[in-house]
């Protein structure tokens, strides 16, 4: 997208520098990322960034204008958690990087979530790339590290003592995102606690640390609530649906409210047309659409080529959408002269007294396959995996 930066990066790139990037992560976190890091960042123009921001602002406006009961309808009855909040603390939005019919590179909305992504990891990733490739410092995110930290601290910890705030996950040591948990702990001084270790007495929650019982007052939630039912023989003292004297960051109900559930309601030139499966019009052709379950995570259950036989066999059609296909444009040239496609996720925080969320960072994902998932790429492919976008002038 920006030839001068792409040319400079590809000239400077070596396998040794790629290994150096991963080694710095090992030093900063104590572990290697369990997901693949792309060898390269993405270079995107400020013009493209403006399109991203304009589309995101329009989407935020449309969400804010929806009646609360419309959003509440997205929350399954068996997953409703008490003490909801008026807005989410985190807001992420994914765009595919595509080419329009008139030849311009443009974003196309893929999905959106009110769920924290790899915030701490992504900031360290950007800083690490700048260490290994110093020329990137001239086009890095203009938010300083301390300002980034203060935003996260205000949203996650608030006025509480950090020891009374936990990052909650189920079996965190088994999660691919463990490196982000570790970096969050280092950044904010909070502990990662498994849901199975949370104790409950009346309405109060506790965890144990070095023989001390410590009250939990705020939960930085990384648990996908509806996935708990899929874990066999799971035993916990605390059920999310119980009343508890705790503040959720972000409240679990928002995982459902800001989700693919909203896509059929959104309108913008960078938002592909979507329908709930049970409302799919007869004059549309299935071959032009992707089938997606509403609340899947990490792309599970997505069907790029749905047929009438497949859609007819689905009983809970209200829990699926059909989203018009978009064509990711392979514009990121690798060191071998081949090209990757990509998505970009914008990472926002939404402070409780703010009218709008604040953009902190971005997360890129690069691929050479039909889906933006490393598992679908050839084993020897490069310029694939987790990345970060740098913006500048052409």
Over residues 229-278, the pLDDT tens digits come to 888 889 999 999 999 999 999 999 999 999 999 999 999 999 999 999 99
Q: How far is CA 337 from the centre of its chain?
A: 29
pLDDT in tens, 347-360: 999 999 999 999 99
Return the number of other C-beta atoms located less than 10 Å from residue 245's C-beta. 12
pLDDT in tens, 104-124: 899 999 999 999 989 999 999
**Dihedral sign of CA atoms 14, 19, 21, 27 in order:** negative
The whole-number pLDDT of residue 373 equals: 58
Give CA separation, 214 vs 114, 154, 163, 206, 315, in Å. 28, 21, 7, 5, 46
The whole-number pLDDT of residue 347 equals: 98
Domains of the chain: 3-156+256-272+326-392 (no CATH), 159-249 (3.40.50)
Query: Which range is least confidently modeled, 98-112, 154-168, 177-191, 203-217?
Result: 98-112
pLDDT in tens, 61-84: 999 999 989 999 999 888 899 999
Residue 375 has pLDDT above 90, yes or no: no
The whole-number pLDDT of residue 297 equals: 57
- Pair of tokens at residue 376: 């679908």
Distance CA 293, CA 276 (A): 10
Average pLDDT, the chain: 93
The beta-strand segments (E) located in 203-324 are: 204-209, 212-216, 218-221, 247-249, 274-276, 289-293, 320-324
The whole-number pLDDT of residue 299 equals: 57
Residue 189 has pLDDT above 90, yes or no: yes
What does the radius of gyration of the chain's CA atoms come to, in whole angstroms? Answer: 21
Residue 291 has pLDDT above 80, yes or no: yes
Phi, psi of 201 (to 5 degrees): -130, 110
pTM of the model: 0.94
The whole-number pLDDT of residue 302 equals: 86
Residue 102 has pLDDT above 70, yes or no: yes
What is the mean pLDDT of the segment spanning 36-51?
Answer: 96
Contact 29, 375 (CB under 8 A): no
What is the mean pLDDT of the segment spanning 172-183?
Answer: 96
**Is residue 369 very low, low, confident or very high in pLDDT (cuts 50, 70, 90)?**
confident
Query: Which range is least confidently modeled, 18-27, 116-125, 378-387?
Result: 378-387
For the chain, what percent of residues have pLDDT higher than 70?
A: 96
**Is residue 393 very low, low, confident or very high in pLDDT (cuts 50, 70, 90)?**
confident
Distance CA 128, CA 21 (A): 6
The whole-number pLDDT of residue 296 equals: 66
Residue 385 has pLDDT above 90, yes or no: yes
Strand 42-45 relative to strand 389-392, pairing? parallel
**Greater model confidence, 380 or 265:** 265
Distance CA 117, CA 129 (A): 19
The whole-number pLDDT of residue 1 equals: 73
Peptide linkage before 345 cis (omega within 30 of 0)? no
The DSSP element (H or E) to which 192 belongs, if any, is strand 191-194
């Amino acid at each position: 997208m920006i030839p001068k930066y792409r040319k400079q990066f590809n000239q400077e790139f070596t396998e040794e520098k790629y290994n150096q990037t991963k080694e710095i992560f090992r030093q900063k976190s104590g572990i290697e990322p369990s997901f693949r890091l792309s060898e390269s960042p993405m270079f995107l123009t400020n013009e493209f960034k403006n399109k991203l921001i304009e589309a995101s602002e329009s989407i935020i406006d449309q969400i804010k204008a929806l009646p609360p009961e419309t959003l509440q309808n997205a929350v399954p009855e068996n997953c409703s958690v008490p003490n909801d909040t008026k807005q989410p603390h985190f807001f992420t939005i994914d765009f595919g990087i595509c080419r329009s019919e008139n030849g311009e590179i443009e974003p196309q909305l893929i999905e959106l979530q009110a769920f924290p992504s790899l915030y701490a990891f992504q900031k360290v990733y950007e800083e690490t790339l700048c260490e290994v490739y110093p020329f990137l410092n001239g086009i890095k995110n203009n938010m300083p590290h301390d300002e980034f930290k203060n935003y996260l601290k205000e949203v996650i910890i608030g006025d509480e003592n950090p020891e009374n705030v936990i990052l909650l996950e189920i079996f965190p040591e088994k999660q691919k995102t463990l490196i982000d948990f570790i970096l969050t702990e280092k950044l904010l001084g909070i502990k990662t606690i498994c849901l199975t270790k949370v104790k409950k007495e009346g309405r109060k929650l506790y965890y144990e640390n070095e023989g001390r019982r410590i009250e939990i007052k705020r939960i930085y939630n990384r648990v996908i609530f509806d996935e708990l039912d899929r874990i066999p023989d799971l035993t916990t003292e605390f059920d999310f649906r119980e009343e508890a004297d705790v503040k959720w960051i972000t409240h679990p109900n928002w995982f459902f409210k800001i989700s693919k559930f909203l896509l059929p309601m959104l309108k913008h030139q960078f938002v592909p047309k979507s329908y709930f499966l049970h409302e799919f019009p007869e004059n549309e052709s299935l071959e032009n659409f992707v089938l997606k379950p509403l609340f899947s995570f990490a792309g599970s259950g997505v069907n790029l080529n749905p047929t009438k036989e497949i859609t007819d066999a689905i009983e809970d059609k209200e829990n699926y959408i059909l989203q018009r296909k978009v064509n990711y444009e392979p514009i990121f040239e690798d060191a071998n002269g081949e090209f990757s496609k990509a998505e970009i996720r914008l990472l926002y925080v939404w402070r409780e007294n703010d009218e709008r969320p604040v953009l902190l960072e971005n997360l890129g994902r690069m691929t050479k396959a039909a889906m933006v998932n490393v598992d679908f790429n050839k084993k020897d492919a490069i310029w694939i995996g987790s990345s970060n976008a740098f913006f500048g002038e052409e």
